[in-house]
Amino acid sequence: MNINLEEKRFQKYLDFAGVLIVVIEADQRVSFINKKGCELLGYNKEDVIGKNWFDNFIPETMKNKVKSVFDELMAGKIEPIEFFENPIITKKGKERIIEWHNTILKDEQGKIYATLSSGLDITERKKAEEKIKHLNLVLRAIRNVNQLITTEKSCEKLLQGICDNLTETRGYFTAWVALLDNSHNVIMTAESGLGENFLPIVETLKKGEFTKCSQIALTQSDVFITEEPYLTCLDCSLSRKYEGRAAMVVRLEHGEKIFGWLSVSIPRNVVKNEDEQKLFKEVVNDIAFALYSIELEEEREKVEKALKERMKELEAFYELSKIVEEPDITEEILIQKIVNMIPKSMQYPEITCARIKLKGQEFKTENFEETKWVLKSDIKIFGELKGTFEIYYLKEKLEIDEGPFIKEEKALIDALTERLGKIAERMEVEQKLKESEEWLFTTLRSIGDAVITTDTKGNIIFLNPVAEYLTCWKQEEALEKPIEDIFNIVNEETHKQVENPISRVLREGVVVGLANQTVLIDKNGKEIPIADSGAPINDDEGNIIGVVLIFRDITERKKAEKELIKAKTFSESIIDSLPGIFYLFDEKGKFLRWNKNFEEVTGYSGEEISKMSILDFFVGDDKKHIAERIQEVFVKGKSTAEADFISKSGKKTPHYFTGLRMIIDNIPYLGGLGIDITERKQIEQKLKESEENYHQAFKRAEFYKDIFAHDINNLLQNIKSSMELLSTFKNVLEKSDEVNELTNIIEEQIVRGSKLVWNIRKLSQIEETEDILESVETFQVLKEAINFIQKSYHNKEIDIQIDSQIKQGFVQANELLLDLFENILFNAVKHNENPKIEISVKISKVDKDRKKYLKFEFLDNGIGVPDALKEQLFKDISSIKRKTKGMGLGLLLVSKILSIYNGQIWVEDKIKGDPSKGSNFIILLPEVI
Amino acid sequence: MIVEDELSIQRIYKILLTSFGFEIIGMAKNGEEAVNMYKSFLKKPDIIIMDHRMPVKDGIEATKEIQQIDKNAKIIFASADITAEKLAMSLGALSFKIKPFDNERLINNIKEKLGIEPFSEKVKNLV
């Protein structure tokens, strides 16, 4: 009984122990467990006793290990470990960490038959220790991270360092971070503890496909926890690494900017720890701050760099400005200085050289060498390419912005080039302006007129030497004085003050001139007649900025004017007194001057003439002729012409015109005289007629001579032949008839000869003397002529009858009427072969062409006139051909006499159509009633 | 044949030539008449005494036309117009007598051209 009580008491004592006590037999079954043990396990005693301790109450992961220790203990291979820790599994499946104190139980024989283990539940202590440990690790990690943050300026290195630190200090199992840009694209990643497993994630991140946890974390500021990613994030390739682990993801945020997110894996048992989360959040915030700082720093550096470059640019421009402002600097020196200052504006001055090519010249730095690392910019002056600005690096440098030169440098060079272009433009303009000013100044100073300029208030700015002379004011004295003080003008006659032209210019803004008869009173009171004009000086916008007054002493001019007026009056008198017409006109024919005669001859008034052209006074061919002569004057200097000058009434008067080219005020004019040549023309006409008459007379004389010579030769031939035959036939009785005939022939020739001479004389008489006609009775004259013929040809039988119904007839004639009738009758006798010559003279009165005539028809029985000869017989000698015989001198005389009498003559057949039967010479003489 | 417009010279030619046994087969008063007359002759005259200056047609023109009819026509010019001599000779006139000329010369010239005894011998015979 005592043993049982003792056992029960012992059992009670063991149950009161605060530790787990368990006895495990050699077969690994539990033979005893105390109350604490049952409480820890959560089993009733009955459920535990007899069960295999290791199979039922030790976690699978530890089973073999613990079992092997037990086996070794039971085998006596190892001594019991004082304190041995291993977990047990409760009924609820939870693990509790137990710190075991093990003892082996031996029987009397000393054989080990069981272990007696007391175990203290150190689960909470372990948790706390782990937590502390973990926190320490985290803290260390955080400390390292903070150190990193303060030292690392590279974003990439910072993130990688952070991830490494977080895992290396074993605060976390794995860590990875993703950085986003402003467009929410992943621009950078870093990891630690994931290795190659991270690569697929990087790919998907770059595609914009974020992990679920990342997506959630980006939407909240708190830490996002995934307790069992291994189980819940099956679509994430990283989840394989999260077995037994939890994940925390939080966004990297500072201010309002989200830089990305950080994801870590940690022990599951600590993930829910608030302190853990807080620490994580803190480190993440620090990281975000670091990123912000880096960004800021980068920004700052950028700005600083930009500022630095800008400073370089400003310095370059400042230096450029200083160079430009150097007094009297030439373009060449300027450009050389510019090119020398360039290298120090570049990021690598020691390897920089420069060259400027401008207007055919080259300017280089001392170390200049052409290389392939060049920056060029074109220099333009007034829009035209004039040169280049070149910068070379002598060594290769890292390519930054499409080359070794940064864009700021490119911009600097472009700016400098542009500036240089502007400077060159400005220098050119300044040079031109200077030249222009010098020219203007020289011109003003050397101009022959006085020049005064004032400002808009009328105060003197400038006096040229002539103005100084005329006003007797020196420029330095007159400067800034009012114009009225210097330029005192009055009317020459009244001596009343005249308004200063400058006042008027300022008031009206236009060019003004002085009134006539204005005199300037100089400083000494001397009066000088002047002529002047004032004009506004305007700026580019048309605003008046001053006035210029130009004036001159016209004393001499006035004198000259008076002389001129005098000369003009004199010359006008001369011109007006010139014989003929005087004219002065320009190349267009417009009159500048003419004399009174011109008006009188043309009948046009001065006003009318002033509006006319010279060619208005000519018509037809004369106009063309005159135009050509005018042209000749302007080209060759002088010419003459003759043409009819047309007056206003249309009367044409022949004139001889002279033309001389004159230059008046640099304009060519034609000046000349026109002389009426009517009289001369008449004389010329008369001379011409005389010449013509002489020529005709000569021609006639030749003609007469020719006929006379021919007739005389024939006459002589007749006489000669007759005489020779007579000589042959003398004393030859049988030839008595021939002798008689020959004698008659000789006689006839004598008559013919004397008639010939008579006719020649008469012809001459007609040519030489003026014909005075009077009323002559024709019948008487005819009878006289008949008598003469009959006497002359006394050896011929000539029967001449007058057949007339009128007894008398008067015609306008003279003594030549007798010759007329005689020659007609002679002709009729001469050209008659018949032994009896019959001539009938029919006289009648006829009306022809409303005129009254006496008609004389001389009908003969002679040889007649062939039809071919009829028309030719009485033609003018000028149309007669020498080779055929026309009329003889006798008929020629008849024709001449009839032309004086205005009579007519023609020949017809006596018997119409049969010339061989004789002729009918018909004469018409104008009757005197 | 005689071509002469002066009637008195015609009369003299007639006396002269017939005295020397020449038969005058025709007398024309101008060149036109001469050509027509020449055409009309069946037996052409042995010789033509041609004046030059005549009405209607002159001696030169008449000569040309007669030569067209008969290129062998014998023509002696007897004219006061010396200017026609060169042309007449170029046309083939046998001679050109310038008025006034000797009767004997004319007759001798005619005979020479016709191949007959000269005038002076005949005159001697007459006497």
pLDDT computed for residue B126 by the predictor: 46
Residue A626: alpha-carbon gap to chain centroid: 46
Assess whether pLDDT exceeds 80 at residue A761.
yes
pLDDT band per the 50, 70, 90 thresholds, residue A171 = low
| Closest chain B C-alpha to A828 CA, distance in angstroms | 12
C-alpha span between A500 and A549 (Å, rounded): 10
The whole-number average pLDDT for the span A28-51 is: 91
Residues of A in contact with B81 (CB under 8 A): 710
Assess whether pLDDT exceeds 80 at residue A606.
yes
| Closest chain A C-alpha to B18 CA, distance in angstroms | 11
**Are A538 and A550 within 8 A, CB to CB?**
no
pLDDT band per the 50, 70, 90 thresholds, residue A885 = low
Residues of B in contact with A866 (CB under 8 A): 30, 32, 55-56
Residues constituting chain A: 929
Residues of A in contact with B58 (CB under 8 A): 883-885
The whole-number average pLDDT for the span B12-41 is: 92
- The chain A residue lying nearest B52, using CA atoms, is A883
pLDDT band per the 50, 70, 90 thresholds, residue B127 = very low
| Closest chain B C-alpha to A790 CA, distance in angstroms | 18
Contact B55 A866 (CB under 8 A): yes
Q: Which residues pair with A904 in a beta bridge?
A: A924
Instruction: Count A/B contacts: CB-CB distance under 8 Å.
Output: 96
**A367 in reach of chain B (CB within 8 A):** no
**Are B59 and B67 within 8 A, CB to CB?**
no
The whole-number average pLDDT for the span A414-423 is: 87
**A863 in reach of chain B (CB within 8 A):** yes
C-alpha span between A824 and A835 (Å, rounded): 19
pLDDT computed for residue A82 by the predictor: 66
C-alpha span between A726 and A907 (Å, rounded): 37
Please tell me whether the interface predicted TM-score (ipTM) of this complex is above 0.95.
no
**Are A634 and A587 within 8 A, CB to CB?**
yes
Give the global pTM.
0.43
pLDDT band per the 50, 70, 90 thresholds, residue A461 = very high
**Range with the lowest mean pLDDT among A172-181, A403-412, A892-901?**
A403-412
**A868 in reach of chain B (CB within 8 A):** yes
- The mean pLDDT of chain A is 87
**Are A275 and A250 within 8 A, CB to CB?**
no
Contact A884 B126 (CB under 8 A): no
Assess whether pLDDT exceeds 60 at residue A877.
no
- pLDDT tens, residue by residue, A525-563: 999 999 888 999 998 888 999 999 999 898 888 888 788
Residues of A in contact with B29 (CB under 8 A): 863
The whole-number average pLDDT for the span A694-713 is: 79
Residues of B in contact with A718 (CB under 8 A): 6, 8-9, 12
Q: Among A705, A714, A834, pick the best mutation site for testing chain B contact (most B Cβ within 10 A).
A: A714
**Are A828 and A919 within 8 A, CB to CB?**
yes
Give the DSSP per-residue string, A460-503: EEEE-HHHHHHHT--HHHHTTSBHHHH-EEEETTT--B---HHH
**A733 in reach of chain B (CB within 8 A):** no
Contact B126 A732 (CB under 8 A): yes
pLDDT band per the 50, 70, 90 thresholds, residue B125 = very low
- pLDDT tens, residue by residue, A298-357: 788 778 877 777 787 788 888 888 888 888 888 889 899 999 988 888 888 888 999 999
- The chain A residue lying nearest B82, using CA atoms, is A710
- The chain A residue lying nearest B17, using CA atoms, is A725
- Which candidate from A717, A742, A882 shows the least CB-CB separation from B101? A717
- Which candidate from A714, A830, A869 shows the least CB-CB separation from B56? A869
**B63 in reach of chain A (CB within 8 A):** no
- pLDDT tens, residue by residue, A739-749: 888 888 898 88
| Closest chain A C-alpha to B81 CA, distance in angstroms | 7
Among candidate residues A636, A657, A656, A654, the one with its CA nearest the CA of residue A645 = A654
- pLDDT tens, residue by residue, A658-701: 999 999 889 999 999 999 999 988 888 888 888 887 787 777 77
- pLDDT tens, residue by residue, A462-493: 999 999 999 999 999 999 999 999 999 999 88
Q: Among B32, B36, B99, pick the best mutation site for testing chain A contact (most A Cβ within 10 A).
A: B99
Contact A724 B54 (CB under 8 A): no
pLDDT computed for residue A81 by the predictor: 67
- pLDDT tens, residue by residue, A263-278: 998 877 777 778 778 8
